[in-house]
């Protein structure tokens, strides 16, 4: 069971790197207060008669002086914490989601940046599922994605437009996305009618971005900004490659989508061209 610090006390938890600035703020306020206190004390010692509201303002009626100091300290600390809480909410609440607390969001951001550096290689559902779990522990993620997919929507786009297959990249983008769920759902939406039947919107988006930017890697980077992706996604190669499997009977199965259809055991697999 985790114990959450209530309210403004969350700003005092380790890892935020903000306590030093709170301390500096407190010292600054204390220095100003000490200066005012010495000024009023000098006036009192010289017998200067001050208006009645100054006696109320300085709590001159509270005795002994040590109790007066404790009252001022309590009021100051309470006002400082309350003002800090309200200031943070007033300035940054538009950027928070639901009932998120700013201190928790900031701590998560700091923790993610300090997380281990992880590189994941692969493709398909396995890689995206792995990334979806790892992103809760570190923001220093790099996904290197295979480009041999030649089936489904990716295969059709690859064949018609000679681009890298976008399907696996779409899944990795949505797995690492920090944007609203509706935007993620939009990228995964698959058309069911007309000439777009079978195509996922995210595949078409990545293809369009590649045409606009003239570079597939740039398209991935810009698509990542749209989805607020945590981490980096890279293609394993930017060359048009085909996965080939040599079977034990000497025949070859050409294409990732065709290899599972062969009923013979596989001797070994390779990419064509071999030096991509």
Q: Nearest 5 degrees, angle CA 207-CA 210-CA 216?
A: 110
Put the strands of the sheet holding 252-254 in their side by side order.
252-254, 242-247, 266-272
Q: Report residue 2's pLDDT band, with 50, 70 and 90 as the boundaries.
A: very low
Question: What number is the average pLDDT over the span 93-115?
Answer: 64
The predicted pLDDT at position 31 comes to 83
DSSP output for 178-233 = -S-HHHHHHHH-B--SGGGTT-BHHHHHHHHHHHHHS-HHHHHHHHHHHTTBSSEE
pLDDT tens for 177-193 read 887 688 888 998 999 98
What pLDDT band is residue 241 in, cutting at 50, 70 and 90? very high
| pTM of the complete model | 0.64
Tell me the mean pLDDT in the region 142-150. Answer: 93
pLDDT at 1: 40
* pLDDT score recorded for residue 102: 61
Distance of CA 115 to the CA centre of its chain: 12
């Amino acid at each position: 069971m985790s114990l959450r610090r209530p309210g403004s006390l969350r700003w005092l938890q380790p890892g935020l790197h903000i306590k030093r600035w709170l301390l500096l703020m407190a010292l600054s306020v204390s220095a100003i207060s000490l200066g005012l206190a010495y000024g009023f004390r000098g006036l009192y010692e010289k017998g200067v008669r001050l208006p009645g509201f100054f006696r109320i303002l300085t709590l001159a009626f509270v005795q002994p002086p040590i109790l007066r100091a404790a009252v001022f300290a309590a009021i100051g600390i309470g006002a400082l914490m309350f003002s800090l809480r309200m200031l943070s909410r007033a300035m940054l609440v538009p950027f928070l989601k639901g009932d998120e607390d700013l201190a928790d969001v900031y701590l998560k951001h700091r923790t993610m940046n300090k997380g281990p550096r992880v590189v994941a290689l692969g493709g398909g559902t396995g890689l995206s599922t792995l990334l979806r779990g790892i992103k809760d522990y570190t923001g220093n993620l790099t996904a290197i994605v295979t480009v041999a997919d030649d089936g489904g929507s990716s295969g059709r786009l690859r064949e018609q437009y000679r681009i890298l297959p976008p399907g696996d990249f779409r899944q990795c983008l949505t797995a690492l996305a920090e944007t609203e769920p509706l935007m993620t759902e939009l990228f995964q939406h698959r058309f069911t009618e007309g000439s777009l039947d079978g195509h996922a919107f995210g595949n078409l988006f990545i293809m369009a971005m590649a045409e606009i930017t003239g570079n597939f890697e740039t398209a991935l980077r810009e698509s990542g900004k749209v989805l607020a992706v945590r981490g980096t996604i890279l293609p394993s190669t930017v060359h048009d490659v085909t996965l080939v499997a040599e079977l034990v009977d000497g025949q070859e199965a050409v294409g990732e989508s065709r290899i599972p259809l062969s009923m013979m055991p596989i001797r070994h697999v390779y990419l064509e061209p071999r030096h991509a």
